[in-house]
């Protein structure tokens, strides 16, 4: 059997500050959408943090519990964003304005910088937020809000990208 290059490959990196709450949740949600609705072979999905405080850790236990209730098992191990990510991914999606400012600072070229997007670009028009709020110092409702926003945004992102 010959293998042909997968020209439809879509490579998406989700980025937040700690890589233990929002971006691993986005990664898990996107992966579940692709598994249920598409072809996982056509996607590379990962997440990373601009900070390095939690490198090697599993996602925050509160996010794992709230995700688990929605059928999502979050097993990502925290890592920091690296310059090579701008080569390895087509879309680099920051959760809030601070994440995006940090990503712009480390983008190695204008072409790399053009890969940076805000998660909120993919929210439905009815969304009540224009960023994904950091739930780290919030209660249960903060985690539920993040999961709701990400479910909506990731579905719209998937619908946009699946045609390519």
Q: Catalytic positions, please?
A: 16, 22, 134
Element of type H or E holding 11:
strand 10-16
Please identify, using beta-carbon distances, which residue of 63 and 107 lies nearer to ligand 4NP: 63
The answer to whether the beta carbons of residues 143 and 66 sit under 8 Å apart is yes
Please identify, using beta-carbon distances, which residue of 21 and 157 lies nearer to ligand 4NP: 21
CA separation, residue 101 to residues 73, 97, 105, 117, 146 (Å): 30, 6, 6, 11, 20
The answer to whether the beta carbons of residues 104 and 116 sit under 8 Å apart is yes
Kindly give the pairing relationship between strand 43-49 and strand 91-94.
unpaired
Which residues are at the interface with ligand 4NP (CB under 6 A)?
Answer: 16-22, 53, 134, 136
Please identify, using beta-carbon distances, which residue of 21 and 149 lies nearer to ligand 4NP: 21
Residue 31: CA atoms inside 13 Å, Cβ hemisphere, count?
19
C-alpha angle 118/145/115, rounded to 5°? 15
Q: What region, left, alpha or beta, does residue 71 occupy, with left being phi > 0 and alpha being psi -120 to 50 degrees? A: left
Residue nearest to ligand 4NP (CB): 18
Please identify, using beta-carbon distances, which residue of 41 and 141 lies nearer to ligand 4NP: 141
């Amino acid at each position: 059997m010959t293998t042909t290059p997968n020209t439809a490959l879509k490579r998406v990196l989700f980025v937040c500050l700690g890589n233990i709450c929002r971006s691993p949740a986005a990664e898990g949600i996107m992966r579940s959408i692709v598994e249920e609705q598409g072809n996982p072979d056509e996607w590379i999905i990962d997440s990373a943090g601009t900070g390095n405080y939690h490198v090697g850790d599993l996602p925050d236990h509160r996010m794992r519990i709230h995700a688990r209730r929605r059928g999502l098992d979050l097993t990502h191990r925290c890592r920091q964003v690296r310059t090579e990510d701008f080569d390895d991914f087509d879309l680099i999606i920051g959760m809030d304005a601070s994440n995006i400012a940090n990503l712009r600072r480390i983008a190695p070229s204008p072409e790399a910088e053009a890969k940076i997007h805000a998660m909120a670009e993919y929210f439905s028009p009815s969304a009540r937020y224009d960023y994904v709020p950091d739930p780290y110092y919030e209660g249960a409702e903060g985690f539920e809000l993040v999961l709701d926003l990400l479910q909506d945004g990731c579905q719209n992102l998937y619908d946009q990208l699946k045609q390519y």
